[in-house]
Structure 1
Amino acid sequence: MSIGRRAFRVIDTGVRDGRRQIAFDQAMIDLHREGKVRDSVRFLRFQPCALVGRHQSIGKELKLDYCRENGIGIVRRITGGGAIYLDPGQVGWELVISRKRVPLPTLQDYTKEICEAVASGLSQAFSIDARFRPRNDIEVDGRKLCGTGGFFDGDTLFYQGTVLVDADPERVLACLNVPEEKLRKRNLDNASNRLVTLKHLMGGVAPDIESIHEAILRGLSERFGIDFSFELPSDDEEILAAKIHDDETGTDEFVYSIDETPAQADCGAATLSGPGGSITALVRLEGKEQTQRIQTVLLTGDFFVAPPRILLDLEANLRGVPLDSVSGAIDEFFAATRPELLSLAPGDFKTVVHAALRTLRP
């Protein structure tokens, strides 16, 4: 798919604190949406940190005590997806582009095109067989080399990924609260069964960072027919990123904004797991018997939805809804908002909410 030879901007923000890197994500998106930043590729690396997805419960997903005891930062992304560990031994890459310039029907289509492009670039550069595996991974022989995710903000598509270069797979999982049944099911008691690094694939010698950047850019250029212009981050981006960090992504209020506690007697809980990710619903009711209605709903999980705040809107819309109107309210919400869901359907949210409600009934 060619979108013309107009140059994309390429910037590299180097190694930074995780919360500051996330703030830069948001700044770049905001400025691109306003027409102040053109289509871009950004490379980045992180000081050691554990990140949860935008919709995940931080206490449920991370081993917080381990992270704090070992100086590992605790961060919340602005994208969906699952919890991950990052350090300077992983290379981050991001795209901020206009959907009009790359017209594809759904987020799933963008995911496939971008991941196949990056996989091709890595394969050619390092003589490996990297392949896109739905819903959003790049793998080599069934082991994950790169995780990705993204969302739409108006005409702006933000898409990001990380390449495992020289990370310690055991430490990756040491930070994450992976359920034992998931470890057994996927044979993950040894992290190397699921994760692989470029260093391992290349016989114990990690490639230099610049060669990884070049490989990713080559894959994107060949797939989309674009050229690249190498620049420094703009002053506008740095100033706005610092403000977003101080006001939002750098604050504990944002990072710990979803930190569900175990279900109590008055709280119904249910989880729906499938190929599209997991969704957990926590529901509290108010009123008596025939007049019961929803007091609050909390929806968490490792799913992708665009725009990310759509789940906050759904939770707000369900407050005060009578129990016999819940299905209709969810259907009407998704029909009106028409969000992008990666490998999920509106019916999945309806199913998990009703499952949580059933746990509150005799």
Structure 2
Amino acid sequence: MHYVLMPSLDIRRNLATEQYLLNQYSLEEPLILFYIQKPCVIVGRNQNVRAEVDLSYAKEHGITITRRLSGGGAVYDDLGNLSFSFVVNADHEAFGDFKLFTKPIIEALHAMGAVDAQVSGRNDLMIDGKKFSGNAMYIKNKKMYSHGTLMLDVNLEEVSRVLTVSEKKLAGKGTKSVRGRVTNLKPYLKEEYQTITTEEFRNQLLLHLFDAASMDEIASKEYQLTAADEEAIDQLVAEIYGNEDWVFGEEPRFTIKREAKFTGGLLEANISVEKGRISSIMIFGDYFGQKETKEIAALLVGCRYERSALEKALKGISIEDYFNHVSKAEFIQLLVD
């Protein structure tokens, strides 16, 4: 087995590296990847971002949002989380057998003092009845990865805050996350590990996995990315993980109903969104206007369902001509905030 310690703290680059190695790495031996990232939310392949994430809160607090290739639910990561990924030949492993891949992780955690850590349900790792790890899998061209999170010392308040949907009436298809009780691992580790950093935790897991006494002993097992590798990974970040067409354009179709009371009256918007763009919009209310509301609706159909795109579509338009005593900022906030 070889390993990769990703230096990047950007989830988009880390997921791109994982995908690149899945596609390009010659799997004569299994590969294990470890990565750590700044605050971010990773939604599953089949999820609706807006049904999982408080987008306003994420933007305000600089929390990166991206989508992964694998299924499953949304997770929040920060610098207190360690992510791992086993990359293997699919011919020799059973897709969906999470116990197989998490077994060495569980054994390492037991050795570090978390003796009650165990696989629970379909794809979670639990301790004391609380979840500290979610896992998912992806398979392509007879190769696959099984990746997961390990919440060592994550900001739990942020987990519940950013993975809470703001008050919207949203309905549609898509995998929903199960928001069970979560916990950090650190309180369950031996006393000697109570001040451990995420990087030190990662190294300890590696030593257990390789049955080694020091990092120097396994240095030859570290896989080094080349300049050509890095260039290809940059391209994946640009085309996929950092691309809003991937993050939002892959959402299942959904409808959302928004309403608000303004000085000029009540406005209600029924919006259908498909592949991240408005496919239809109907506006109702007891407002007064000089022009037909359907003109505004026509401008917005086909527009990406996010604030900057709506602002661009309505540039130069006097909203008060359509909704008396309603500003453009108020109207856009009605639609997307």
Q: TM-score, normalised by structure 1?
A: 0.59
Could you tell me how far apart the structure 1 residues matched to 2:28 and 2:54 are?
37
Quote the residue 1:185 is aligned against: none
Determine which of 33, 46, 50 is the counterpart of 1:42.
Answer: 33
Quote the residue 2:74 is aligned against: 83
Q: Secondary structure at the match of 1:56?
A: coil
What is the CA deviation profile of residues 310-337 of structure 1, one whole-angstrom value per residue up to 9, with x for unaligned ones? xxxxxxxxxxxxxxxxxxxxxxxxxxxx
Determine which of 125, 137, 141 is the counterpart of 1:138.
Answer: 125
Quote the residue 1:11 is aligned against: 4
State the percentage of identical aligned residues.
24
Check conservation: 1:31, 1:37, Cα contact below 8 A. no
Quote the residue 1:258 is aligned against: 250
In structure 2, relative to structure 1, the CA distance for the partners of 1:168 and 1:210 (3 Å cut) is closer
Q: Which amino acid aligns with 2:131?
A: K
Uncovered stretches (5+) of structure 2, i.e. residues with no partner:
168-178, 212-217, 258-269, 273-337
1:51 has 2:42 as partner: yes
1:205 has 2:194 as partner: yes
Quote the residue 1:216 is aligned against: 205
Check conservation: 2:85, 2:148, Cα contact below 8 A. yes
Per the TM alignment, residue 206 of structure 1 is displaced from its structure 2 partner at its CA by 4.2
Q: Which amino acid aligns with 1:165?
A: L
What is the CA deviation profile of residues 35-58 of structure 1, one whole-angstrom value per residue up to 9, with x for unaligned ones? 388631111111111111111111
Determine which of 235, 257, 261 is the counterpart of 1:243.
Answer: 235
Uncovered stretches (5+) of structure 1, i.e. residues with no partner:
1-7, 181-190, 268-362
Residue correspondence of structure 1 range 1-362 to structure 2 within 5 A? 8-32=1-25, 35=26, 39-100=30-91, 103-104=92-93, 106-109=94-97, 111-177=98-164, 194-202=181-189, 205-217=194-206, 220=209, 229-259=221-251, 260-262=253-255
In structure 2, relative to structure 1, the CA distance for the partners of 1:29 and 1:159 (3 Å cut) is same
Per the TM alignment, residue 235 of structure 1 is displaced from its structure 2 partner at its CA by 3.1
Per the TM alignment, residue 72 of structure 1 is displaced from its structure 2 partner at its CA by 0.7
In structure 2, relative to structure 1, the CA distance for the partners of 1:44 and 1:165 (3 Å cut) is same
In structure 2, relative to structure 1, the CA distance for the partners of 1:152 and 1:171 (3 Å cut) is same
> Between Structure 1 and Structure 2, how many residues are aligned?
240
Could you tell me how far apart the structure 2 residues matched to 1:129 and 1:218 are?
21
What is the CA deviation profile of residues 36-91 of structure 1, one whole-angstrom value per residue up to 9, with x for unaligned ones? 88631111111111111111111111100000011111111111110111111101
Choose 206-215 or 111-120, whichever is displaced more.
206-215
Per the TM alignment, residue 138 of structure 1 is displaced from its structure 2 partner at its CA by 0.9
Check conservation: 2:32, 2:84, Cα contact below 8 A. yes
Quote the residue 2:326 is aligned against: none
Could you tell me how far apart the structure 1 residues matched to 2:166 and 2:133 are?
21
Q: Which amino acid aligns with 2:37?
A: F
Q: Which amino acid aligns with 2:243?
A: T
Q: Secondary structure at the match of 1:216?
A: helix
Q: Secondary structure at the match of 1:107?
A: coil
Per the TM alignment, residue 211 of structure 1 is displaced from its structure 2 partner at its CA by 4.4
Check conservation: 1:67, 1:73, Cα contact below 8 A. yes
Per the TM alignment, residue 237 of structure 1 is displaced from its structure 2 partner at its CA by 2.8
Q: Which amino acid aligns with 1:212?
A: F
In structure 2, relative to structure 1, the CA distance for the partners of 1:44 and 1:266 (3 Å cut) is closer
Per the TM alignment, residue 232 of structure 1 is displaced from its structure 2 partner at its CA by 2.7
Check conservation: 1:166, 1:206, Cα contact below 8 A. no
Could you tell me how far apart the structure 1 residues matched to 2:152 and 2:69 are?
23
Check conservation: 1:23, 1:249, Cα contact below 8 A. yes
Choose 151-160 or 52-61, whichever is displaced more.
151-160
User: RMSD over aligned Cα, in angstroms?
Assistant: 3.0
Per the TM alignment, residue 14 of structure 1 is displaced from its structure 2 partner at its CA by 2.8
Q: Secondary structure at the match of 1:245?
A: helix
In structure 2, relative to structure 1, the CA distance for the partners of 1:255 and 1:130 (3 Å cut) is same
Larger Rg: 2
Per the TM alignment, residue 118 of structure 1 is displaced from its structure 2 partner at its CA by 1.0
Check conservation: 1:43, 1:213, Cα contact below 8 A. yes
Q: Secondary structure at the match of 1:46?
A: coil
Q: Which amino acid aligns with 1:238?
A: E
Q: Secondary structure at the match of 2:205?
A: helix
Could you tell me how far apart the structure 1 residues matched to 2:166 and 2:117 are?
28
Could you tell me how far apart the structure 2 residues matched to 1:200 and 1:262 are?
42
Per the TM alignment, residue 127 of structure 1 is displaced from its structure 2 partner at its CA by 4.2
Could you tell me how far apart the structure 1 residues matched to 2:110 and 2:142 are?
31
Per the TM alignment, residue 252 of structure 1 is displaced from its structure 2 partner at its CA by 0.8
